[in-house]
Structure 1
């Protein structure tokens, strides 16, 4: 039984290294959007290259995050966590030194691999190291500090872009890793379940990532109308079908399809896809809108986006408590509608927009909707399956959210009629941004309708700190305990 006490020196070191590790991935998911206009200008990149700068990371992260958790279970959580930290830092260094957009995109894909290794391991190390009496408080502190990191991420990103330059958005990860990895090796006890008799579902992971990659490529490059794009789209769908077939037949699949026998689990994942697709598209385009159209600096744009994550950090626990009393149906129905209203209010954000009059009201309404829905969504995911499969359910839900953001960043500019050079023209971008916000709002309304018609049962009273106190806006929080008998 784990016996490290939170008040001990070792306990503090464990908390520090896990917070640093998770913060690297959390910061990266929020700061890069703010840097995109400067990256495009310095590397002479078109809109497709900026989409790939975001999506290359999301692609490998979403495709491999379930496999990353299983590697830690089998080979040792500390070992895989440290490997992820070092890998992430090396890829970040390559991002920071990238001479052109092609190298940057490739390095971002490598970053996602590192993120898939360290993200599941961060919370799992806390669960596996601390004494049961201290575990809840340790997870709460981990969630709170991680939420603070996510909240200040856009501000830090903007300051770096306007100061030392956009390359430091990535290079900052290197000194963090140089602190994090040695502390983990020295102070974090190794843990794992010691079982190695099952096989890894490498084929499933490859097919899942390939399907996402091909569909993403087809959506981003669809403007060209080439035969390669059409072939990619068909091949992507075929890879998706093959993924489902493989997962159905394997004795130890990465994503057991039987878990979707729970109608509640299936329903809440459909809501997740709608909600996080809209969030992914919004945060990708909003940072560009504030800089390209409104004319703000990267620092001003990053600071402007603080209210959403700050609201989540401050009030997610109260939202979770409310959902415990009234059930998840109302929060999961009303929350997306509030988010949709916030995105429609963003239609007022154009040239010479006022922060207090135009931007703040939209972000406050959006943030209120996010506060209302994220904690109940996580609790409902965990409560819709047997407790022994909570880790697996959380991992699938987290991967689904990241995949939704990936597809949204690829598809939304196409749907909104955004040309390759649109971000260099304030007028053209402003017009396309308005259409994109209407599309995002529509997707959220669909998510609300799904929740209203399908989410029924009461939540199980999820009081896990990682469900309640966080500031992550790009994906729901992961549950720390891995599912037993799967992926281990």
Structure 2
């Protein structure tokens, strides 16, 4: 097998795949290292939570702005500094001695990841013709979910054997490799929206509104602070959309949302799908360890059945888009996930056999993998080339928002049904009831996504 040549589409694909692996990997890998980091640096529970929240918030804040900026100046000019910033801060975090500096650097590490992720699909879409786009996006999607799923496994192993600092240092070599490949192996990307102006005012307004919304969602049960922040965020986004409708060369073309039903419903379907699936790992991890009595290592192996099927199904679904309508495949994928969630909600209990649980997780993961690649391909194919970066940023933004909705739903359900009670033998029935409600809520999100996916109809790729 020959190695990709400098400037070739294959070099773009490899660089994007590495980038798409690293950013989600640093989200989930750091999560399992937080207890060790907290003990070493004397961090409070709130500080540990902020280490994760600030990364996710900064990811969400800049997705649209950096995606649009890449359309104007060229996506490579956004990807390269993003890779450099992300890699430098990832290395620096491995040597930091202060928890406050870790929080500060974690925020800007997230901005670097945001620059990397926002235009990745735009680069792939521009590098390959429409008839090949689905299979390439499938490979990128597989790398994304490989990063998400391998993060807890490798992060836990490295933390246990070498310490939490090596969780940050571990990805540095591949970050340097990706930066070098982007610098020396990729040609300058075309300026899809050459000559148009960047709406920085809209970008800042959007970022601040998203920050309020995301931080409010993370602290939703803290009344009145959480709900008040959510309200400010929602109001800010409403004002943002109003401003965009009257801004020349706007960050977000409102006509794209109001006149391109296919694009809008595809994005909303993605939001529903992420909201339906992201929180499952968290709930099932608690269930396997508290209800089934499994050790963390074995529980982690059981949970791998979902992301492994996602990684397998994503590239397969990408190839299928060459034969079938992408929107139809995406709808089928959501139907499969919905079925898995409904069966899981109906069968979860103290005596649920592990084989059934593994099967349910595998079905949910397969449905997710079947959905995400065709849906992303459909979104990229529903816009003009000058909007590739914006569409790529929207896909990443829907992923981040969906994750936030999923985890906020779990938090609220546990808060309402269990209060502040610790999971013990006495509270296990309440915990199981909360899990059933949570799985039903996820199934509702997924079913809403099915309706939106079906309602958008079919659209041929550009």
Q: Which residue of 2 aligns with 1:259?
A: 256
| Matches for 1:290-369 after TM superposition, within 5 Å | 290=288, 299-319=297-317, 321=320, 324=325, 327=328, 331=332, 334-341=335-342, 343-344=344-345, 347-348=348-349, 356-357=354-355, 359-369=357-367
Q: Which residue of 2 aligns with 1:77?
A: 75
Task: For residue 190 of structure 1, give the secondary structure of its aligned residue in structure 2.
Answer: coil
Q: Which residue of 2 aligns with 1:245?
A: 242
TM-score by length of 2: 0.79
2:185 and 2:272 mapped to 1: Cα distance?
41
Q: Which residue of 2 aligns with 1:459?
A: 458
Check 1:103–1:200 CA distance in 2 against 1; reply closer, same or farther (3 A cut): same
2:41 and 2:429 mapped to 1: Cα distance?
23
2:364 and 2:135 mapped to 1: Cα distance?
29
Q: Which residue of 1 aligns with 2:369?
A: 371
1:326 and 1:399 mapped to 2: Cα distance?
20
1:431 and 1:41 mapped to 2: Cα distance?
31
Check 1:150–1:38 CA distance in 2 against 1; reply closer, same or farther (3 A cut): same
Check 1:38–1:411 CA distance in 2 against 1; reply closer, same or farther (3 A cut): farther
Check 1:401–1:295 CA distance in 2 against 1; reply closer, same or farther (3 A cut): same
> Once the 2 structures are TM-superposed, how far is the Cα of residue 246 of structure 1 from its aligned partner?
1.8
8 A contact 1:335–1:373 mirrored in 2: no
TM-score by length of 1: 0.76
> Once the 2 structures are TM-superposed, how far is the Cα of residue 89 of structure 1 from its aligned partner?
2.1
> Once the 2 structures are TM-superposed, how far is the Cα of residue 66 of structure 1 from its aligned partner?
2.1
Structure 1 regions of 5+ residues with no counterpart?
463-480, 482-488
Check 1:435–1:421 CA distance in 2 against 1; reply closer, same or farther (3 A cut): closer
Q: Tell me the C-alpha RMSD between the 2 structures.
A: 4.2
> Once the 2 structures are TM-superposed, how far is the Cα of residue 448 of structure 1 from its aligned partner?
1.2
Q: Which residue of 2 aligns with 1:439?
A: 438
> Once the 2 structures are TM-superposed, how far is the Cα of residue 159 of structure 1 from its aligned partner?
1.9
8 A contact 2:192–2:388 mirrored in 1: no
> Cα deviations across residues 423-474 of structure 1 (Å, max 9, x unaligned)?
7878768844751552343243244145337724543466xxxxxxxxxxxx
Q: Which residue of 2 aligns with 1:467?
A: none
Task: For residue 249 of structure 1, give the secondary structure of its aligned residue in structure 2.
Answer: coil
Task: For residue 416 of structure 1, give the secondary structure of its aligned residue in structure 2.
Answer: helix
Q: Which residue of 1 aligns with 2:156?
A: 158
8 A contact 1:416–1:432 mirrored in 2: yes
2:201 and 2:244 mapped to 1: Cα distance?
9
Aligned counterpart in structure 1 of residue 233 of structure 2, from 221, 232, 236:
236
> Once the 2 structures are TM-superposed, how far is the Cα of residue 45 of structure 1 from its aligned partner?
6.0
Size of the alignment, in residue pairs?
A: 455
> Once the 2 structures are TM-superposed, how far is the Cα of residue 113 of structure 1 from its aligned partner?
0.5
Matched, 1:113 2:111: yes
8 A contact 2:6–2:184 mirrored in 1: no
